[in-house]
Amino acid sequence: DALQGKNLFDYVPPETTQKLRNHLRQDMEAHASGAVHEVPLRRMDGKFIVTEWVDVPFTYQNAPAVQTVLRDVTHRKETEQIFRGQKLLLEEITRGTELTEVLNKLVEFVESVFPDMLGSVLLLDQAAQRLYVAAAPHLPEAYNREINGITIGPRVGSCGTAAFLGEPVIVADIATHPLWEEYRDIALEHNLRACWSLPIFSRQGKVLGTLALYYREVREPTLRELELMEMVAGLAAIALENKRREGELLRREVQYQRLFNHIRELALVYGVDARGNPTRLLEANHSVCRLLGYDRKALEQLPLSNLFTTDTYQAVARALEESRTSETSLVEAALQTRDGDTIPVEISLYRFREHRRSLILLLMRDIRERLSAENALRQSEANLKALFDNSLQAFFLIDKDERVLAVNRPAVEMNLKVFGKSIQPGNVAREFFSGEEYVAFRKAFEMALSGKKFSAERKIVGQNGREFWFEVNYMPVQDARGEILSVCLSALEITDRKQAEQALRESEERFRALVQNSSDIIAVLSADGAVRYQSPSIQTTLGYSPEALAEREVFEFVHPDDRPRLRTVYRALVKGKRLPRRLVEFRVRDAGGAWRYLEASASNQLNNPAVQGIIINARDITSRKQMQDALRESEERFRTVFENSGMGILLIRLNGRLLEANPALHAMLGYTPDQLQEKKLKDLCRGQQPFSRFSEVVKRLETEGPALQVECSLATERGEERWGRLTLSLVRNGEGVPQFVVAMIEDITERLQTLRELQESEEKYRLLFNSSMDAIYVYPLDETGQPGKFLAVNEVACRQTGFTREQLLDRTPRELLTPEQNQRFEEWMHRLQEKRHLLHEALYVTRSGRRLPVEVNANLFDYRGQPTVIATVRDISERKFAEAAIRASEERYRTLFEGVPIGLYRSTPEGVLLDANQALVSMLGYTSLEELQSIRLTTLYVDASHREKWRERLEAEGTLRGFEARLRRQDGTTIWVREHSRAVRNEAGEIVYFEGSLEDITPQKTMEEALKASEERYRDLVENSEDIIFTHNLDGVLLSANRAFARLMGYTDAHQMVGLHLSEILAPREHPRIEAYLERIA
d(CA 359, CA 763): 12
Question: What's the angle, vertex CA 147, arms to CA 145 and CA 149, rounded to 5?
Answer: 95
Can you give the pLDDT at residue 140? 93
Can you give the pLDDT at residue 772? 76
Can you give the pLDDT at residue 813? 93
Q: Quick check: 279 and 320 in contact, CB under 8 A?
A: no
Q: Is residue 507 over pLDDT 70?
A: no
What sign for the dihedral angle of Cα 684, 686, 688, 692? Answer: positive
Can you give the pLDDT at residue 637? 40
Query: What number does CATH give the domain 261-365?
Result: 3.30.450.20
Can you give the pLDDT at residue 186? 92
pLDDT exceeding 90 applies to what percent of the chain?
21
d(CA 539, CA 544): 5
Nearest of 177, 173, 179 to residue 217 by alpha carbon:
173
Structure confidence at residue 817 as a pLDDT band (50, 70, 90): very high
Can you give the pLDDT at residue 513? 33
DSSP 8-class letter at 1068: G
Q: Give the H/E segment covering residue 472.
A: strand 467-478
pLDDT digits (tens, 9 = 90+) for 767-784: 667 777 889 999 999 888
DSSP 514-573: -----SSEEEEE-TTSBEEEE-THHHHHHS--HHHHTT-BGGGGB-TTTHHHHHHHHHHH
Strand 913-916 to 685-686 pairing: unpaired
pLDDT digits (tens, 9 = 90+) for 247-260: 554 555 555 555 66
Number of H helices, E strands in the chain: 37, 42
244: phi then psi, degrees, rounded to nearest 5: -65, -40
Structure confidence at residue 387 as a pLDDT band (50, 70, 90): low
Nearest of 466, 454, 525 to residue 498 by alpha carbon:
466
The fold adopted by the segment(s) 8-72 is: Beta-Lactamase (3.30.450)
Q: Is residue 161 over pLDDT 90?
A: yes
pLDDT digits (tens, 9 = 90+) for 616-650: 888 888 877 766 543 334 334 435 556 776 778 88
Question: What's the angle, vertex CA 311, arms to CA 310 and CA 312, rounded to 5?
Answer: 95
Nearest of 38, 60, 44 to residue 10 by alpha carbon:
44
Q: Could you say which architecture CATH assigns to the domain 773-879?
A: 2-Layer Sandwich (3.30)
Strand 648-652 to 613-620 pairing: unpaired
Q: Is residue 173 over pLDDT 80?
A: yes
pLDDT exceeding 70 applies to what percent of the chain?
86
User: SS3 for 932?
Assistant: helix
d(CA 180, CA 184): 5
Q: Specify burial of residue 938 (Cβ count, 10 A radius: 0-12, 13-18, 19+).
A: middle
Q: Is residue 761 over pLDDT 70?
A: no
Return the domain boundaries, the chain.
Answer: 8-72, 77-243, 261-365, 373-493, 521-625, 773-879, 900-1002, 1025-1081
Among 571-575, 831-835, 881-885, 1061-1065, the minimum mean pLDDT is found in 881-885
Q: Give the H/E segment covering residue 994.
A: strand 991-1000
> Mean of the pLDDT values across residues 428-433?
83
Q: Average pLDDT over the chain, rounded to whole? A: 82
d(CA 1006, CA 1016): 15
Q: Is residue 516 over pLDDT 90?
A: no
> Mean of the pLDDT values across residues 982-992?
87
d(CA 556, CA 563): 8
Nearest of 360, 364, 284, 355 to residue 327 by alpha carbon:
360
pLDDT digits (tens, 9 = 90+) for 93-102: 766 678 888 8
pLDDT digits (tens, 9 = 90+) for 310-348: 999 999 998 888 888 876 788 899 999 999 899 999 998
Question: Which carries the bigger pLDDT value, residue 91 or residue 621?
Answer: 621
Taking the mean position of all CA atoms in its chain, how far away is CA 204? 49
> Mean of the pLDDT values across residues 350-360?
80
Beta bridge partners of 604: 614
One-letter amino acid identity for 68? T
Q: Could you say which architecture CATH assigns to the domain 373-493?
A: 2-Layer Sandwich (3.30)
Structure confidence at residue 205 as a pLDDT band (50, 70, 90): confident
Q: Is residue 512 over pLDDT 60?
A: no
Structure confidence at residue 515 as a pLDDT band (50, 70, 90): very low
d(CA 494, CA 499): 9
pLDDT digits (tens, 9 = 90+) for 121-154: 999 988 889 999 989 999 999 999 999 989 999 9
Taking the mean position of all CA atoms in its chain, how far away is CA 1073? 85
Angstrom distances, CA of residue 341 to CA of 286, 568, 630? 18, 44, 49
Q: Quick check: 1044 and 1050 in contact, CB under 8 A?
A: no
User: SS3 for 934?
Assistant: coil
Q: Is residue 876 over pLDDT 70?
A: yes
Q: Is residue 167 over pLDDT 90?
A: yes
d(CA 213, CA 159): 10
Nearest of 25, 46, 29, 45 to residue 37 by alpha carbon:
25
Q: Is residue 199 over pLDDT 90?
A: yes
d(CA 229, CA 110): 8
Among 215-219, 225-229, 524-528, the minimum mean pLDDT is found in 225-229
d(CA 370, CA 344): 10
d(CA 577, CA 566): 14
Beta bridge partners of 55: 35, 68
Beta bridge partners of 994: 907, 983
Among 176-185, 237-246, 469-478, 1073-1082, the minimum mean pLDDT is found in 237-246
Q: What torsion, rounded to 10 degrees, do the Cα atoms 210, 211, 217, 223 define?
A: -120
d(CA 1054, CA 1060): 11
Can you give the pLDDT at residue 262? 65
One-letter amino acid identity for 303? P
Can you give the pLDDT at residue 691? 65
Alpha helices in 301-364 (DSSP H): 310-322
Structure confidence at residue 228 as a pLDDT band (50, 70, 90): confident
Q: Is residue 84 over pLDDT 50?
A: yes
Q: Quick check: 164 and 197 in contact, CB under 8 A?
A: no
Q: Is residue 80 over pLDDT 80?
A: no
pLDDT digits (tens, 9 = 90+) for 676-716: 877 887 787 876 655 667 788 888 888 877 778 788 888 88
Question: What's the angle, vertex CA 703, arms to CA 697 and CA 705, rounded to 5?
Answer: 85
Nearest of 915, 884, 885, 888 to residue 387 by alpha carbon:
915
d(CA 101, CA 79): 24
**Domains 77-243 and 521-625 alike in fold:** yes
> Mean of the pLDDT values across residues 786-793?
91
Nearest of 134, 127, 125 to residue 99 by alpha carbon:
134
What sign for the dihedral angle of Cα 539, 544, 546, 549? Answer: negative
Q: Specify burial of residue 813 (Cβ count, 10 A radius: 0-12, 13-18, 19+).
A: buried
- CATH superfamily entry for domain 900-1002: PAS domain (3.30.450.20)
CATH number for 521-625 (one of 3.40.50.1100, 3.30.565.10, 1.10.10.10, 3.30.450.20): it is 3.30.450.20
Q: Is residue 394 over pLDDT 60?
A: yes
User: SS3 for 829?
Assistant: helix
Residue 912, C-beta contacts closer than 8 angstroms, at least 6 positions apart: 933, 936, 937
- CATH superfamily entry for domain 77-243: GAF domain (3.30.450.40)
Can you give the pLDDT at residue 734? 65
